[in-house]
């Protein structure tokens, strides 16, 4: 567009004015008229709900035991539902949340008048579902004996007298909405998971130390390859050790008592039909063996298909052949075991909690479609450490096996390195991954409180892929992947990661953008970050943003907001010519308008406080070595602390 008779600067300013005027008209499509009729509350299941860990919220959705709130925001097409009034209070006045969703038009809360409310060990019990009431009209009892899975909770009432009666019976103070918003509440979030990492490490150390005592049992038999291994195991008393001299021993064998089986250059060979070593007793230890002759079934061929999805997963994943299969056998300890090749599982743990697996080596099939899992767990918590998994389907697969620790392992050439389904409270730490067709680490379904820290993932389709809620993803290095980190998680924390030389650095697909992303380094990715449709994602914590290579120009020392999803900003690290376009009056005006109008930022990411230098210099240097030398340049570290 030309403006005759005007200087270039005048033309640019006029162009900005015209552009802003047009966009303001368009912005009106996104803005709700504050004088319009106030929307009525909706059924809570129709909201985009947040507040509790995903698995907790699923368990209480059919109950009225947790007070709830729902908020209609001016710039967001969905109603946001909050488990716990405190969660809503914390979010409503959050500037980042208002930048994402706009300002709150109206807030409703559940009120417990006339519901015959009672407390059972702090848990709210009622005879019917509570009614919805405008938040500013309700009265709240705080610091009473009422609790939810997340801790103490404010209990709302429509009538002040009803609130006072509840406080008289169960303690607490009655206050209005304005006073409630002035209160400070402890809100369950991913920072709690960060604080638990050290505890999880210490617990894992104790579990390993306890398992190692199983190697101190007295020797009851010393066998040669000419002896009958099964007969020796059957006759060994509980708490004793059977020692195998070097050589090959016929299997399969069953271990039906609490014994230790120790081999020195000894190999147990199954018959190629089923599992080679079957553990059916508590506190069994297997040390120093090579296991071969494993069947190729990945499921029980005689199992009856069930209509329930989870049952079919169990039949298909938890009943296959294995080098070592432990079923209903808590406390199994597998150490210094080699399974050079299996078309099924290396170690299978089903209903066998408190397992420890160390220094295991498993070789799978060259094509992952022909193989299965290095370690397969079904409802079995475990510590899995200092092991190597090559090829096959998944290195470690967990199904409903929470409180597991997977650390200091190496994963290569599979479908997934580590694969979690319905598994929460797990620590994945200090592992290295390379050359996976789908993902180094993938967390699926709706788990909560998982920690993924200090891992190195390279040359895979996805480096780290996370779902669920309230998880902690920190201090990882993702290089040379198609996507470094993918997240559909909510209420999670991503900090101190280095994401470098990937096709796409980090992608977010969550419609409800409630995770915190800060203090990460994005370097030399084709695209630093991308987002699916949804509200503006604000990636910063207070005034602490991320380091984005290219966000600062050579002549610019003052920070400005950076949009990695913007067609101009997103290419600043690829070409110096983009700086001229980025700093043009037209582009500045557009950024200013977008910053004040959340509806114009759908599917975008903004970092209000990009950092001028890398935030993780040691990991940044290590990432450079991995780029140059491969993942072997980053051996798994020893136990680390939870804080950066």
Residue 450, classified by CB atoms within 10 Å of its CB into exposed (0-12), middle (13-18) or buried (19+), is: buried
The 10 Å Cβ neighbour count of residue 35 is 5
In a shared domain, residues 397 and 278: yes
User: Which stretches of the chain drop beneath a pLDDT of 70?
Assistant: 1-36, 51-64, 150, 186-188, 301-311, 510-512, 553-559, 571, 573-603, 636-644
Identify whether 575 is part of a domain.
no
CB 443 within 8 A of CB 450: yes
CA 4 to chain centre: 58
pLDDT on residue 211: 98
The residue among 155, 164, 122, 157 whose CA lies nearest residue 139 is 157
Distance CA 108, CA 68 (A): 8
- Sheet hosting strand 483-487, strand order edge to edge: 253-255, 277-279, 322-327, 345-350, 373-378, 394-399, 416-421, 439-444, 462-466, 483-487, 504-508, 527-531
In a shared domain, residues 184 and 241: no
Q: What is the SS3 assignment for 385?
A: strand
pLDDT on residue 361: 98
pLDDT on residue 327: 96
Residue 247, classified by CB atoms within 10 Å of its CB into exposed (0-12), middle (13-18) or buried (19+), is: middle
Q: Is residue 315 within a helix (H) or strand (E), and if so which, with residue range?
A: helix 309-317
Q: Is residue 595 within a helix (H) or strand (E), and if so which, with residue range?
A: helix 585-596
Strands (E), 63-193: 68-73, 80-83, 104-111, 118-120, 123-125, 131-134, 139-142, 147-148, 151-152, 155-157, 173-176
Q: What are phi and psi of 606, to 5 degrees?
A: -135, 140
Question: Which residues, in sequence order, are CB contacts of 479 under 8 Å at separation 6+?
Answer: 456, 457, 458, 463, 498, 499, 500, 501, 502, 623, 626, 627
In a shared domain, residues 284 and 392: yes
Domain span including residue 254: 210-401
Distance CA 406, CA 385 (A): 6
Select from 385, 401, 417 the last residue of a domain: 401
In a shared domain, residues 257 and 335: yes
**Number of domains composing the chain:** 2
The residue among 504, 500, 420, 425 whose CA lies nearest residue 467 is 420
Please report the DSSP string for 599-643 in residue order: GGGTT-EEBSS-BSS-S-HHHHHHHHHHHHH-GGGSPPPS---S-
Angle at 87 between CA 86 and CA 90, to 5 degrees: 85
Identify whether 233 is part of a domain.
yes
In a shared domain, residues 268 and 380: yes
Identify whether 592 is part of a domain.
no
In a shared domain, residues 219 and 357: yes
The residue among 567, 585, 590, 602 whose CA lies nearest residue 21 is 590
In a shared domain, residues 154 and 252: no
In a shared domain, residues 168 and 241: no
CATH code at position 260: 2.160.20.10
In a shared domain, residues 397 and 364: yes
In a shared domain, residues 105 and 243: no
Identify whether 445 is part of a domain.
no
In a shared domain, residues 101 and 235: no
Identify whether 88 is part of a domain.
yes
CA dihedral 94, 97, 102, 104 (to 10 degrees): -60
Six-digit token string for 613: 């230098």
Select from 401, 423, 453 the last residue of a domain: 401
DSSP state of 188: -
- The predicted-structure confidence for 523-578, as pLDDT tens digits, reads as follows 999 999 998 877 778 899 888 999 999 887 555 556 678 888 877 777 676 655 44
In a shared domain, residues 176 and 245: no
Identify whether 306 is part of a domain.
yes
Residue 216, classified by CB atoms within 10 Å of its CB into exposed (0-12), middle (13-18) or buried (19+), is: exposed
DSSP state of 302: T
Q: What is the SS3 assignment for 36?
A: coil
pLDDT on residue 587: 53
Q: What is the pTM of this model?
A: 0.83
Distance CA 639, CA 42 (A): 48
Distance CA 478, CA 483 (A): 9
Q: What are phi and psi of 13, to 5 degrees?
A: -65, -40
CA 47 to chain centre: 22
pLDDT on residue 8: 39
Select from 336, 370, 401 the last residue of a domain: 401
Identify whether 90 is part of a domain.
yes
Distance CA 382, CA 396 (A): 11
Identify whether 253 is part of a domain.
yes
Q: Is residue 587 within a helix (H) or strand (E), and if so which, with residue range?
A: helix 585-596
pLDDT on residue 521: 97
């Amino acid at each position: 567009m030309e403006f005759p008779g005007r200087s270039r600067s005048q033309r640019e300013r006029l162009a900005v004015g015209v552009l802003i005027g047009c966009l303001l008209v368009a912005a009106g499509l996104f803005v709700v008229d504050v004088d319009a009729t106030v929307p009525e509350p909706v059924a809570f299941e129709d909201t985009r709900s947040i507040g509790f860990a995903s698995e907790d919220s699923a368990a209480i959705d059919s109950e009225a035991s947790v007070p709830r709130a729902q908020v209609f925001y001016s710039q967001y097409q969905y109603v946001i539902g909050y488990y716990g009034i405190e969660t809503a209070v914390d979010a409503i006045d959050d500037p980042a949340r208002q930048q994402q969703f706009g300002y709150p038009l109206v807030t409703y809360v559940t009120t417990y008048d006339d519901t015959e409310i009672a407390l059972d060990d702090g848990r709210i019990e009622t005879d019917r579902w509570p009614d919805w009431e405008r938040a500013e009209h309700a009265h709240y009892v705080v610091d009473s004996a009422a609790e939810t899975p997340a801790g103490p909770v404010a209990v709302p009432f429509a009538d002040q007298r009803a609130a006072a009666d509840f406080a008289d019976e169960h303690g607490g103070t009655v206050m209005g909405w304005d006073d409630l918003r002035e209160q400070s509440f402890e809100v369950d979030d991913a920072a709690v998971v960060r604080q638990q990492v050290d505890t999880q490490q210490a617990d894992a150390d104790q579990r390993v130390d306890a398992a190692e005592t199983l190697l101190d049992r007295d020797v009851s038999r010393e066998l040669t390859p000419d002896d009958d291994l099964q007969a020796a195991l059957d006759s060994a008393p509980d708490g004793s050790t059977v020692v195998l001299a070097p050589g090959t021993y016929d299997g399969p064998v069953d271990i039906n008592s609490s014994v230790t089986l120790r081999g020195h250059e000894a190999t147990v060979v199954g018959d190629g039909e089923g599992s080679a070593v079957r553990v059916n007793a508590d506190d069994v230890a297997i040390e120093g063996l090579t296991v071969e002759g494993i069947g190729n079934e990945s499921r029980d061929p005689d199992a009856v298909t069930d209509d329930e999805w989870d049952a079919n997963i169990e039949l298909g994943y938890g009943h296959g052949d294995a080098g070592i299969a432990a079923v209903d056998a808590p406390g199994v300890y597998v150490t210094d075991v080699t399974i050079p090749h299996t078309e099924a599982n290396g170690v299978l743990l089903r209903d066998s909690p408190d397992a420890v697996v160390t220094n295991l080596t498993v070789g799978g099939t060259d094509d992952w479609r022909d193989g299965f899992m290095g370690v397969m767990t079904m409802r079995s918590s475990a510590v899995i450490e200092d092991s190597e998994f090559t090829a096959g389907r998944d290195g470690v697969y967990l199904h409903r096996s929470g409180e597991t620790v997977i650390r200091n392992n190496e994963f290569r050439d599979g479908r997934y390195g580590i694969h979690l389904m319905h598994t929460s409270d797990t620590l994945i730490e200090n592992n290295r991954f390379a050359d996976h067709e789908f993902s180094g680490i993938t967390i699926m379904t709706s788990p909560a409180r998982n920690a993924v820290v200090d891992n190195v993932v390279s040359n895979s389709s996805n480096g780290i892929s996370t779902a669920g809620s309230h998880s902690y993803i920190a201090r990882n290095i993702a290089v040379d992947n198609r996507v470094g980190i993918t997240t559909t998680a909510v209420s999670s924390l991503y900090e101190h990661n280095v994401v470098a030389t990937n096709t796409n650095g980090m992608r977010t697909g969550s419609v409800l953008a409630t995770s915190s992303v800060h203090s990460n380094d994005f370097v030399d990715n084709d695209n630093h970050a991308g987002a699916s449709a949804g509200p503006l994602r604000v990636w910063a914590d207070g005034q602490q943003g991320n380091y984005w290579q290219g966000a600062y120009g050579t002549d610019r020392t003052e920070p400005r907001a950076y949009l990695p999803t913007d067609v101009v900003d997103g290419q600043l690290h690829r070409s110096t010519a983009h700086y001229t376009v980025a700093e043009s009056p037209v582009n500045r005006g557009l950024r200013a308008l977008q910053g004040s109008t959340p509806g114009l930022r759908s599917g975008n990411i903004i970092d209000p406080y990009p950092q001028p230098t890398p935030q993780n210099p040691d990991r940044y240097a290590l990432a450079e070595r991995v780029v140059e030398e491969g993942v072997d340049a980053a051996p798994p570290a020893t136990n680390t602390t939870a804080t950066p």
